[in-house]
Every structure is written in structure tokens, then in C-alpha cells.
Structure 1
Amino acid sequence: MASLFNQVPSVSTVFALYTSLSAISMILRRIINEIVPKPIRDYINVKVVDLFTSYCQQTFRAAEVYFKMRLAGLSTGQLLVGSSDLKNPEAEPNLGIPVNTKIVDEFEGIHLEWTLHCVELKSYPFEKRYFNLTCKKEFREKIMTDYLTYIATSAEKIMRHREKLFIYSYSREGGWQSAK
């Protein structure tokens, strides 16, 4: 029976493999830079960045929707409260998450901490917002697969229930009027 130590490559073998892969990647990069025109390289780069950015934006939006609906029951010391309809004082309040506020959540007995961060971008007139999720390392895979999927499906359900249908009718005297 082979032992584990017989199957593990030596440090020199791993180092040789690493240096070979590094050399190959530098050569390929040089060849691509010489052969592929810059506009095409830039286009490919933008598409790859868009692919990852789109996923991150969807995950951020899902977390934001999920937490806004659960803020009352979550452990957080601060809330942003606004109005969804300024003309109606009885309108349901619109809850928000303040920057740098820690939100504690639990999923299948796993303790999770979320923090909303905000970074002002110097080259643009707007800011970048992102959530920082903290959990024990042993649960990382479960969180990345099951928990984030749970948040995405929960946010989708919340958004479906949020959709409102407004019906208007057109009257010759007054134009468009709410059918209520």
C-alpha cells in the first residue's frame, strides 16, 4: 500500500512546475500582445470584466433586497428609514442599510456577519458599494453554494411580491386617472 508521503511530490518538483508554468504564461502573454491588436485585447478584457462585474452586481443587489426585508429581525444597531411615498404620511417606511453597519445573520446554524462598505472612486463621480461577508473558514463552501443561492432565490421572491399593478383609465375630461 502506498503511503501519503510517497505520493506527494518533492518541493523541487513543485518549484520546477511553478517556474515552467510561469515561463509559459509569460511567453503566451508576449505572443498575444504581439499578434492580437490592442482594440481586440481591450474588447476581450472589457467583456471578461463585465462578466465578473455582472455576477457581483447581481449578488450585491440580491443581498441588499434580502436584508432590507429582514432588517427588523436582524441584529443591527442602526437603520436608515425613509418614506416610499412622501405625499402619503401613512405609507410603509422604506428601510436601508447604513454604511459600515454590521448585520448578523444565521443560516442552518452557521453564524454570518455582513458589513456594507462604501468607497468613493476618484476617477468617477460616484461610489462603489460592496458587502463583506465573514464566516468560519470551514463553512465557506456551503456558504458560497447554498447560502448565496438561498439569498438569490429569496430576493427574487421578494421582488416578485413587490411588483404592483397600477391601472389607469383615460377620461376625455381629465386625461389619465387612477382606476383604484
Structure 2
Amino acid sequence: MVFSCESMPSSTAVLSAAASLTASAVLFRTIVNDLVPSEVHDYFFTSLRKLTNRLSSQLTVVIEEFNGLTANQMFEAANVYLGSKISPSMQRIKVNKVEKDEELAVTIDKKEEIVDFFQGVKFKWILQCTAIKQMAKANRNANPRSELRYFELSFHKKHRDMVLNAYLRYILQKAKAIKEERKALKLHTVDYNGTDYWSSVLLNHPATFDTMAMDSEMKQELIEDLDRFISRKEYYRSVGRAWKRGYLFYGPPGTGKSSLIAAMANYLKFDVYDLDLREVQCNSDLRRLLIGTTNRSILVIEDIDCNVGLQHRERESDAQTVEDDKITLSGLLNFIDGLWSSCGDERIIVFTTNHKDRLDPALLRPGRMDVHLYMSYCTFSSFKTLVSNYLKIEEHPLFGEIKELLVKVQVTPAEVAGELMKSDNAEIALHGLIKYLQDKENRG
């Protein structure tokens, strides 16, 4: 079929028809808005949207930031998880810094989209925001938030059960692991002015198991014991025991007991609560202090032999002793192994002492001090760790002489480290250590 130029509509005619159609649509919408009641209008479009959703193969899960005034943990977990999925091609990201934390928190910004895969299924995430209408200023309970944030998670409908039963739970677990990995460890100390009797600073102690100068076999046994402890939540529950473990580190001063605690905290990513019993006024305060500690933490009671003779203090006004005015041995035992000790999970209690023989046998039994580690004087194995840390060498001709001296002389790792730090030159530092050991041997 052949069309002549005369039979083709002109461009002017096409534009005119399009304009007429647009105007008609606008007029129709205006008529509908003006003449059709809003209830009917809303019902019509809601029904249309439901019909469209029914015909679509996609399902969208909405995860809001807040459930009323309570933060939605699922939203927080998704925010952390998706922050770890940000690609270099993303155009906008958000960066926050939490007070006292060293790590920067990176998250996606609104309207940004992330595609994720789980068990071979594709998921699309997008962060949406809706402005919140502010209530009158006179209302003191007005919501201070200016917008409501929520994630839209889209996927094929046939994966609905897998998302609810597996994918979202996986995100909760991954987010927890990410937060623990990024966690800035804190060192807490007793503070009676605090709301929970504790105040904290960042724990920046550099000690690790790699840098610890201790018997290598003992070190490996400790690591395995810690790994076994943190993996046995259901086991502790099944046998009816609180999920906690007690350690006693004993030995001469300077053998690395405090450094070992820091190495444990860095390894497990646990906060440390340093409890000096001399600062605690009574048994009831012990309970409050225990309740104030968090899960996944190490409670440290150093020099337990000095703290628990448990002084029977008397009031100056009379000779009668009042139970609430002192810490008793029974109060400490209840704190460690009584009903209150089960108020929390995944807790470690570490006691240190220079004199194990001075401790009451009631403290030493399993359930209170499950593992006893003797922190010995410096051995040749410990020396090899120290010289690697401080001088960055693994072998030296002087090692043989030092090994013989360490068999004869009792010297702590702290003393050896002090000598090695006196020079960056390995030859000078090692000769200095030999002289120190010889002098100590001669003094007897």
C-alpha cells in the first residue's frame, strides 16, 4: 500500500491531537477530584493498587526504623548489614561517628538501592524516607523526629517463607558479628556517681596472644578453653548452669597477669570491668555492680588475696558489726556463684593473686575458679617471644648463654622486657640482659 504525502497527518495535527488528549486527561482528573467524594476516590485507587499488586510477582517487605517510640532492631541490623555491602559505584553514602568509638559507621543514604543475594535468590533493598508532620509546639510530647525512615525489601513472592524464616534471621546474626568486630572495647571502673555504679574509658591495650610471653602450650590450652566456652550457650542451658566461666591467674608480680586479661579481651572482643573490692561499701553494692555489667564481658578482681581477708570492720560508735556495712566472704561467693550470678550471659570472671595459698578454699573450687593458670618466671620460650616483640629477631649467637642463665635465675618477663627496651641494637640489648642475669645470679 502506498500513502501519498497528502494522506499523512501533519506534525502540527499530531501535536494538536496530543495536546487535546492531555487537556482532556487533566480535565477528567479535575472533574473526578471535584465531583467524586474523597472516600470513593481513595477506595478506587486503593483497589487499583491492590489489583496491581496481585498481578505482580514481587513482594515488598517494609522495615520501619521505629515501632512506636521503640527502635526496631531489624532496621538497625539491616542498616549495619547493608553498610557492609556498599559498592564503589554507589553515589551517596552516610558516615557517622559514635562518641568514644574509633570506627566510622558507613550506611546507605535514602533512595539508594542495594542488590543482595542469599541462597541464590536476588533481593533488592532501598532506603525510603517520609516527612513527619510536626505537632503543635504547645504539645511537649510532640515527636522530635522530622522524618520516618524505612527499608523496602523486594523479592519474588515464592521466597516469602525463606525470607521470614532464614534471610532476615541471617541478617540479624551477620549484623551482630559485624558490630562485635567493629566494637571499641571499654574499660569500666567503679563509679558511685554513675547510674549503674560504673564509668568507662576506651580500652586501647595492645596485648594479644601472639605478644604474650608465656608457655606456648598453656597459651594454646587457654585459647581452646575460651573458644569452647563462647560456643556452648545451649550446652550451659541444657545442664542448668549459668553461662559464665571463672579463671584464676596466680604467680609472682610482673609475670603478665594483667596483660593476659587484655589479650583475652582483645581476642574475644569483650569489655573489661575492673572491680576493686576495696572501693565497694557493702554486699548489696556487689549485686548492683554485677547487674550493671553487660553480657560478653570480663569482670576482673585483681589481688583477691589482699581484698578478701574480708575485713570484719566495726563501727566507730559501737563494737557491733552490721552485715550491710562490709563485704563478707559469703557475700562474695553469692556474687560469683549464687542466684545473682545468673543475671547475664557469656560472662568471664578473672581473679589474680600473687599468693594462691592465702585464698579461702571455698573460692578455689570449680564453678567459681574453673581454670587455674600459673604465670611463671620467664622461660626460654617466653624470652623468644619477648625478643621477637622488642628486637624483631628470631635467632642470635647469644641466645645459648641466655638460655642457660634463665634456668638458674628467677626473673620475670617484665624484668626481661625492661632490659630489652634499653637499646634498639640487638647486640647491645642482649649483652645488657646477660649482665643483668649474671648480677642477679651473683646476688643469690
2:116 aligns with 105
Matched, 1:80 2:93: yes
Give the number of the structure whose alpha-carbon radius of gyration is greater. 2
Contact 1:78 1:98 in 2 (8 A): no
Displacement after TM superposition at 1:81 (Å): 5.0
> Which string of whole-angstrom CA distances, capped at 9 and with x for unpartnered residues, describes residues 99-144 of structure 1?
0111110111111000101111103341111000000001111111
Provide the C-alpha distance between the structure 1 equivalents of 2:111 and 2:164, rounded to a whole number of angstroms.
22
Matched, 1:161 2:199: no
Name the one with the larger helix percent: 1
SS at match of 2:150: strand
Displacement after TM superposition at 1:71 (Å): 1.4
Query: TM-score of the superposition, structure 2-length normalised?
Result: 0.23
> Which string of whole-angstrom CA distances, capped at 9 and with x for unpartnered residues, describes residues 7-59 of structure 1?
xxxxxxxxxxxxxxxxxxxxxxxxxxxxxxxxxxxxxxxxxxxxx65897111
1:57 aligns with 72
SS at match of 2:174: helix
Matched, 1:119 2:127: no
2:148 aligns with 128
Provide the C-alpha distance between the structure 2 equivalents of 1:119 and 1:151, rounded to a whole number of angstroms.
24
Provide the C-alpha distance between the structure 2 equivalents of 1:117 and 1:82, rounded to a whole number of angstroms.
17
> Which string of whole-angstrom CA distances, capped at 9 and with x for unpartnered residues, describes residues 64-96 of structure 1?
0111122137xx6323254749xxxxx865422
Structure 1 counterpart of 2:156, one-letter code = K
Same amino acid, percent of matched pairs: 30
Displacement after TM superposition at 1:168 (Å): 9.1
Contact 2:81 2:175 in 1 (8 A): yes
Provide the C-alpha distance between the structure 2 equivalents of 1:178 and 1:159, rounded to a whole number of angstroms.
16
Provide the C-alpha distance between the structure 1 equivalents of 2:73 and 2:188, rounded to a whole number of angstroms.
32
SS at match of 2:133: coil
Q: How many residues align?
A: 117
Provide the C-alpha distance between the structure 2 equivalents of 1:178 and 1:130, rounded to a whole number of angstroms.
33
1:142 aligns with 162
Structure 2 counterpart of 1:133, one-letter code = L
2:86 aligns with 71
Instruction: Compute the RMSD of aligned alpha carbons.
Output: 3.3
Pair 1:145–1:81, CA change in 2 (3 A):
same
